[in-house]
Amino acid sequence: MDDKGVALKRDGNASDHQPRLAVASPRDEAAPGASEIPESIPPQALLARVLQRENLQRALKQVRQNKGAPGIDGMTVDALPQYLRDHWPGIRAQLLAGTFCPQPVKRVEIPKPEGKVRCLGIPTVVDRFIQQAIAQVLSAQWEPHFHPHSYGFRPQRSAHQAVCHVQTSIRDGYAWVVDIDLEAFFDRVNHDRLMTRLKSRCQDAALLRLINRYLKAGVRVGERIENTPLGVPQGGPLSPVLANIVLDELDWELERRGHRFARYADDCNILVKSRRAGERVMASVEHFVSKRLRLTVNPLKSAVDRPAKRRFLGFTVSRQDARLKVADQAIERLKAKVRELTRRTRGHRLDVIVAELRKSLLGWKAYFGIAEVLSPLRDIDKWIRRKLRCYLWKQWGRAGYRELRKRGVSVREAWNTSKSAHGPWRLSKTPALARALPVRYFESLGLPAIAAR
């Protein structure tokens, strides 16, 4: 079956939730955008690859899996398949003719732990679909050429691999780290530099124009549209690939200089053997980033220091043997989440609270489970159980004495605890509460232990 006028149709044997992309039938050849794409596509015809049926099917599936909020037009991800069934031939014709205009992204501010905000740009779901299709083609084209120690937003690579590579380098005697953080990287990417970099491997002028239009699409803030002369907005599927294309130049420069490093998006750790060497590297990298990439190293978040005093992707290392350890900031963020879920004013039953905690804790453990220093995690487990004892004690109120007796606490101990002048948090650490609500009780409710291996 040849790739003519791509349209969306429903597979009679498939669920409504899994629509598939299919080529139009012969009677649809007169539809807009129905020109035939040859099976053998020359390397420069990347836009044709973007619009191939299989690539579009993958893009639609990925966008639906990612879900996400609507853009400025209010269209949801669930509404996308039907919209494409109705409108794809016309959109495809515009893409081929070079007249397609992306819509501005919607500005969304996400609070950061230090009190600042991260600005995301949420594209419309149609633009997300097209961006995803472009990203898949660019990624396949650039992936073989990316540096092996670039770990962010790449297939078969992860933050864990980046952290473990840094740990290996430390154990090999590279006892100092040049911790590089690029200031507002996604907001400050130079479009001219990016387009020049893209042209080095992409000779398809039509695709380059489309990418440039996405870069220049603008952002809606409130009721006004602001221009975007710089940056790649976080929130779209295309931005991570473009970020790696920009910073690939830095990776290979570090390789040329013989440095050990690991980079994940705009976070980069360079490992050296002395402070003096680290300071030289920091100065030269700052110069390269400023003059060549036209970006800025953040002086407040970048430093030359011992690895145990820095954090990378939520981890640090122990001083003696460089064992992986969860950074204090990551533990504090987890505590903040637990406090939010165990607020007294929520008024939920304990099993409901534990079910919500379970989801958050399992996700947290899935990422931080590679930590080798377990004592801070055991302390967190104890603290979480104490929070839950405090939550339940508040719920019992005047029934506290009866509840303690019901759970096997002696008359004297139950009486002294229930009549104590101390507050719930202080009482949550008493032997009476520990006996009435032991570890096995929380295990029976499904509360995971994050220190368990």
DSSP, residue by residue, 2-33: -B-SEEEE--TTS-TTS-EEEEPPGGGTTSTT
CATH code of the domain made up of 149-189+234-317: 3.30.70.270
Interval 267-277 mean pLDDT: 97
- Residue 86: partners with Cβ closer than 8 Å, 6 or more residues away: none
Question: How do residues 178-206 score in pLDDT, each as one tens digit?
Answer: 999 999 999 999 999 999 999 998 889 99
Instruction: Give yes or no for residue 213 having a pLDDT over 80.
Output: yes
Q: Which of 306, 339, 312, 307 is nearest to 327 (CA)?
A: 312
Burial 138-151 (b: 16+ CB within 10 A, else e): bbebbeeebbebbb
CA distance 11 to 18: 9
Question: pLDDT value at position 2?
Answer: 40
Question: How do residues 71-89 score in pLDDT, each as one tens digit?
Answer: 999 999 999 999 999 999 9
CA distance 200 to 184: 25
Which residue intervals of the chain bear CATH 3.30.70.270? 149-189+234-317
Model confidence band, residue 415 (pLDDT cutoffs 50, 70, 90): very high
In this structure, are strands 219-221 and 105-111 parallel, antiparallel, or unpaired? parallel
Question: How many percent of the chain have pLDDT more than 70?
Answer: 90
Q: Could you tell me which residues are beta bridge partners of residue 3?
A: 37
CA angle 200, 201, 202 (to 5 degrees): 105
Question: pLDDT value at position 115?
Answer: 66
Give residue 14's identity as a one-letter amino acid code.
Answer: A
Interval 412-431 mean pLDDT: 95
Give residue 293's identity as a one-letter amino acid code.
Answer: L
Question: How many percent of the chain have pLDDT more than 90?
Answer: 81
Question: pLDDT value at position 172?
Answer: 96
Instruction: Give yes or no for residue 409 having a pLDDT over 80.
Output: yes
- Residue 92: partners with Cβ closer than 8 Å, 6 or more residues away: 5, 6, 32, 33, 51
